[in-house]
Amino acid sequence: MTTNRNGTGITGNEPGSNLDQKLDSLKEKAKGFVDQGTEKVEQLKERVVDVKDQAMAKGSAFLDRATSMIKANPLKSVIIAFGVGYLGMRLFRR
């Protein structure tokens, strides 16, 4: 004889025992699904952090190159900036 959740004794022949076994089985399966979902979320979180770190590194490298190019060619940089600004103004003015 086993006991159910409320402490009363049940035997394997009672209809409630089969239901309790099925409920326990469903609970275990649900817990397994939740655990798997948690693992997947953690994996995705790690991948997002890795992608963010790579993007930050690439952005930083781009800014470093742009800064060094501007320092090496200041007049050319001003002319390019003026030209881009002028074209932008002409496009969005209408």
Distance from C-alpha of 38 to C-alpha of 34, rounded to nearest angstrom: 6
| pLDDT tens per residue across span 32-57 | 888 898 999 999 999 999 999 999 99
Confidence of residue 2 (pLDDT cuts 50, 70, 90): low
Distance from C-alpha of 63 to C-alpha of 59, rounded to nearest angstrom: 6
Asked whether residue 8 carries a pLDDT value surpassing 60, the answer given is no
Token pair belonging to 38: 């948690």
Token pair belonging to 77: 């940089």
Beta bridge partners of 3: 9
Q: What percent of the chain has pLDDT over 90?
A: 59
Distance from C-alpha of 20 to C-alpha of 35, rounded to nearest angstrom: 22
76 is in which domain, residue-wise? 2-93
Asked whether residue 11 carries a pLDDT value surpassing 90, the answer given is no
Task: Compute the average pLDDT of residues 68-88.
Answer: 95
